[in-house]
Amino acid sequence: MSTDYFVQAKKVIPGGVNSPVRAFGSVGGTPVFIASASGSKVTSQDGRVFTDYVGSWGPMILGHADKRVVSRVRRAAERGLSFGAPTIGETELAELICSLVPSIERVRMVSSGTEATMSAIRLARGYTDRPLLLKFTGCYHGHADALLIKAGSGALTLGIPGSAGVPAGAAQDTLTCDFNDVDGLREVFAKYGDRIACIIAEPIAGNMNMIFPTPEFLGVMRELCDQHNSVLIFDEVMTGFRVALGGAQSVYGITPDLTTLGKVVGGGMPVGAFGGRRNIMEHVAPLGPVYQAGTLSGNPLGMAAGIETLTHIQAPDFYSDLENMASRLVNGFKDAAAQHGVPLQAHCMGGMFGVFFSDEDNINSYAKVTRCNLEHFKQFFRGMLERGQYFAPSAYEAGFISGAHTKADVDGTIEAAKSVFATF
C-alpha cells in the first residue's frame, strides 16, 4: 500500500518526497505512489487506476507515454544519453520554439523552469545594469533565492511566505506587487523605475490556482517597461504551449522582451528554456558578459521529447478540441456544485483550468484566492481520489487536460463530482 511506500521513502528522503506539494500535507492522507501511466490514466504502485488531471503538473499535453514521443526518445537514447556537446536536436527544437513564439528570436536551453527564470533575471540585470526585480504576490517562478518572496505554488500551500536559508541580501532587491493591481504597479515604478531591471510575471497566474489578468494589467506592464527601459519577462513555464500554441502572450497580444518556458517544451523530460529579443539574448555568454551554463542543457533525450511534442500540438483543431474538453469539465463541475448548493467558481483556457470553492465572482487576486474554502477543497480532493480521480493535492494549483482525455473520461469525472458534492 502507499502508506508502506511512504514510510519507506521518509527514511531516506526528506518528508518522503522530492518536491514538497507531493507530500499531501495540505489535504491529509498518504501520497499516491505512481507506477505507470498511459494516455489520460495513471496507475498507482498498488494497482489503482486514476483519471489524471495533474499531467505531471502540466507537461503531458499529448497524454502520458504518447507512443510517438516515447519512440523518438527511445531512438535518441540508443544513440547516447548525454554528450555535453552540440547536437542538431538542440537546433531543431530552438527553431520550433522561435517559429511558434514570435517574440523569441534567440533561445537558450536549460534543464528546468527554475533555471530558466533564474537565468532570464540574471540576463535582464546584466542587460540593464540594474539591481531590482519586480514580481507579484502569489506567483511562483521557481525556488531561486530572490524569487521565494511572497511565492505561490508549494510555498503558498505550506503557508510559507519565504524560505529559511534565503539571506536578506538575496531578498532586498526583490520588489512585490499584487497581481492585477494596476495602481500599485504604477506606484512601484514611480518610486523605483530607474532601478528596476525587470518585471517577471506569469501572464496567467498558475501557482495560486488559475488567475486571469485583467484587460489592462499586462498592457500597463508593457507600457511601464517601455517608459523606464526595463525588461518585461513573461514566465510561461506553465502557460507556454498549454493555453495556446503561442502561449498566453499570443492570446493577450502583449509582447514580452524575454520569455521563460518549461513543462510542455520538454514533453515530460526535464527541459526548460529562456529566450527573447536578439539584442538582449546576445548578452549571454559566449557572445556577452552574462554567464549561464549547464552540463545537461540541451540533453538529447529532452530535445527529442520536446521536438515530437511541439510537432504534434500543431495539428489542426488541437487547441480548440483541448479547450472544448476543459470547458466540458469545468461547466460540469459548476452544474454539479449548483445542484447541491456548493459555492464553486471554475474557468479554463486551452488545456488548463482552475476550480475555486468560493461564492465570489471573478476571482482575480491573491486575496480572493486565499479567501476560498479550503475545507471544501480538501473534501473534494479526498472524495474524488476515492472515486478514481487524481487532482493536484493543493487548492493553489491549476489543473490540466490532455489530448488523450475523452468525453467518457470527463463525464465520468463529472459524475464522481456529483457524488462528492452530495456529501457536502
Q: What is the DSSP string of 211-279?
A: BPPPTTHHHHHHHHHHHHTPEEEEE-TTTBTTTBTT-HHHHHT---SEEEE-GGGGTTSS-EEEEE-HH
Beta bridge partners of 29: none
Q: Is 51 helix (H, G, I), strand (E, B) or coil?
A: strand
Q: CB under 8 Å to 359, separation ≥6 — which residues?
A: 343
> How many CB atoms sit inside 10 A of residue 374's CB?
15
Query: Grid cell 505507470 — which residue?
Result: 36
Backbone angles phi, psi at 121, to 5 degrees: -70, -40
22, 60, 119, 336, 381 from 28: Cα distances, Å: 11, 26, 36, 24, 10
Mode of pairing for the β-strands spanning 345-349 and 196-201: unpaired
Closest Cα to residue 135, out of 70, 94, 101, 181?
181
The Cβ-side half-sphere exposure at 143, using a 13 Å CA radius, reads 11
Helix 217-228, helix 182-192: angle, nearest 10: 10
The Cβ-side half-sphere exposure at 80, using a 13 Å CA radius, reads 9
Active-site positions read 140, 235, 263
